[in-house]
Each structure stands twice: as structure tokens, then as C-alpha cells.
Amino acid sequence: MKPKVLIIRTAGTNCDKETEYAFRLAGAETQLLHINHIKNEGNLSEYKIIAVPGGFSYGDDLGAGKILALELMLWFKDELKNFIDKGSLIIGICNGFQVLVKTGILPDLDFKQKATLTFNDSARFEDRWVYLRKPEIGEQKPENIWLKELPEIINLPVAHGEGKFYAEKDILDKIENNGQVVLRYTDSCGKSASYPLNPNGSLNDIAGITDITGKIFGLMPHPERFMFEHQWPSWKERVLEPFGLQIFKNGVEYFK
């Protein structure tokens, strides 16, 4: 049976349709709903996966993802708790990652904001492709649900103005020790590198994290922008497997 995926959108969400498309390509049944609709007649328990896609929810006017995060907390906190407790999956991409961090769902599932994604060191929006490295085998503790079958170094694009992962040292140490950092910006060999390879100045080159169970995944890069080979900029020189699509497949496969 195809797992059902809910893609949440609101004013300013703009990667919703392609995120839905990627989940469909990956074999899911999908529903793309406005948060006002979910508030009035939705039921989160119908779904196996929730995706919070990229964009500029409410223009990021009071900070990236801020108002959508507030609404999720005000309107769906208990439902989300139940959803998570049942072992369902959540993926937050770009603006969705910002939302997950600002609700406090990531890193600790306790609805308290402990980390943030703040303004890029370059102080502006940038869209560029980056190298990303998964933890080495053994380095990583939670079950790596979302990144299975992928090589150690992959390429995806980032496109954001507020993507610098930042947290106080104790929080940072904790998520590092727990192995919650699952994607880092690197050079082509997997080594730590400065701008533009780390495009925003993220601490510890963090591009994506999960919760302690590995089920809730937030990342700044856009996997839905690498579901076809032609999305990779240099595909006329060298064809790569669409790494992004694999991420969606992993989510769907988890329920098969």
C-alpha cells in the first residue's frame, strides 16, 4: 500500500508542488493542503509522513519560518505530538527546516526552540549547488532512515538567505554527540571547507539534522531539486543519479 504523505502549505510556501511531485515519483500517495484547510477540517493521523516544504512562509517577514512555526504550535501541537509518538516521519526542507527548528520539534521534539537558522554570513539569498557528506558508518547513531542507499558525498542545491545553523555550544555538542548531524557542507572530497562550499557559515558545516530517532529530518538543501538528472547543472558533462529522489524514496520505503 502506498503511504500517505501530507504536504503542508501556506501563504508564501513555494516548493510545495515539486515536493509533492517528488513524493509521487517515489511511490507515495500525496495530499497538498493549505494550513487553513487542515485547521478547519484536516486530520494529521491519516498520514504516515508530513512534509513542510521550502519557500517564504508569510514572506519570512518576522524571521524565516517564524509565523508558520507559531501556527503549528498554536493549532496542532497535540496532534503533532501524537503523530511523532506513533513513529511517523516528518521532513522539513529549507523553510520547512526553519519551521521545524523554530517550533522546537528539532532537535529535541520538546517544542522548545534551541537552535536556529539565521542569516547567511554573506548577508543575502544565494542559490548554489553544494557537496554534502553523510556521517561515516559507525559515526552515526540514529537509524539513517532518510539517507539510505546514498553515497557518502552527494550534490544538492541550496537556495536561502537564512540557512546558517546556529546553537549554543552545549546544544551543539549534544546533537553532535548524539549523531544527529546527518548532512554537512564539504568540498568534493568530503572535507570541511569555507564559503562558498559552506554557503552560509553554518556552525560545524551543518546542513541537515534529525531528531534522536532519525525520523524527523530537517535540511537546508533541496532534494526535490534533484529528482531528474537534468536538474544537476553539469549533466551535459557527467550524469549523476538524482540523489534527491532517493531521499523521498527512503521515506516512502520505510513504510513498505
37 near other proteins, rule: CB under 8 A: yes
Residue in the structure block whose three cell numbers are 542507499: 149
Report in angstroms the alpha-carbon separations of 85 from 82, 120, 162, 205. 5, 34, 30, 30
Q: Does 31 bind other proteins (CB under 8 A)?
A: no
Answer for the pair 22, 244: CB distance below 8 angstroms, yes or no: yes
Cell 517564524 found at: 66
Instruction: Among 21, 31, 153, 240, indicate the residue that binds other proteins (CB under 8 A).
Output: 21
Distance in Å, CB of 53 to other proteins, minimum = 10
Please give the backbone phi and psi of residue 28, each rounded to the nearest 5 degrees, phi first. Answer: -95, 160
What x/- string results for residues 63 through 82 when contact with other proteins is judged by CB under 8 A? x--xx--xx--x--------
**Coil vs helix vs strand at 135:** coil
Query: Of 85, 81, 48, which Cα lies nearest the Cα of 248?
Result: 48
Q: Does 55 bind other proteins (CB under 8 A)?
A: yes
Query: What is the smallest separation between the CB atom of 25 and other proteins, expressed in angstroms?
Result: 9
- CA 98 – CA 156 distance, rounded (Å): 18
Which of these ranges, 48-56, 132-140, 174-182, 206-214, lies near other proteins under the rule CB under 8 A?
48-56
User: According to CB under 8 A, which residues from 90 to 149 bind other proteins?
Assistant: 102, 113-116, 118, 123-131
CB of 137 to other proteins, least distance (A): 26
Binding-site size for other proteins (CB under 8 A) equals 60
Is 222 annotated in the active site?
A: yes
Provide the minimum distance between the beta carbon of 129 and other proteins in the complex, in angstroms, as a whole number. Answer: 5
Rounded to the nearest whole angstrom, what is the least distance from the CB of residue 86 to other proteins in the complex?
27
Task: For residue 237, state whether it binds other proteins (rule: CB under 8 A).
Answer: yes
Told to check if 225 binds other proteins by CB under 8 A, we report yes
Nearest in space to 167 (alpha carbons), one of 210, 116, 216, 98 = 116
Q: Map residue 205 onto helix, strand or coil.
A: helix
Considering the candidates 94, 139, 189, 241, report the single residue annotated as catalytic. Answer: 94
Our answer to whether residue 224 is catalytic in this structure is: yes
Task: Tell me how far apart the alpha carbons of residues 223 and 221 are, in angstroms, rounded to a whole number.
Answer: 6
- By C-alpha distance, which of 165, 164, 147, 167 is closest to 156? 147
Beta strand residue intervals within the chain, DSSP E = 4-9, 29-34, 49-52, 89-93, 115-118, 126-133, 153-160, 164-167, 181-186, 206-210, 216-219
Binding residue (CB under 8 A) for other proteins from 18, 29, 176, 253: 18
Q: Say which of 222, 229, 230, 241 is annotated catalytic.
A: 222
Contact flag: residue 36 with other proteins (CB under 8 A): yes
Q: Which positions lie near other proteins, rule CB under 8 A?
A: 11-15, 17-18, 21-22, 34, 36-37, 40, 54-56, 58-59, 61-63, 66-67, 70-71, 74, 102, 113-116, 118, 123-131, 155, 157, 159, 166-168, 188, 197, 222, 224-225, 227-228, 230-231, 233-234, 236-237
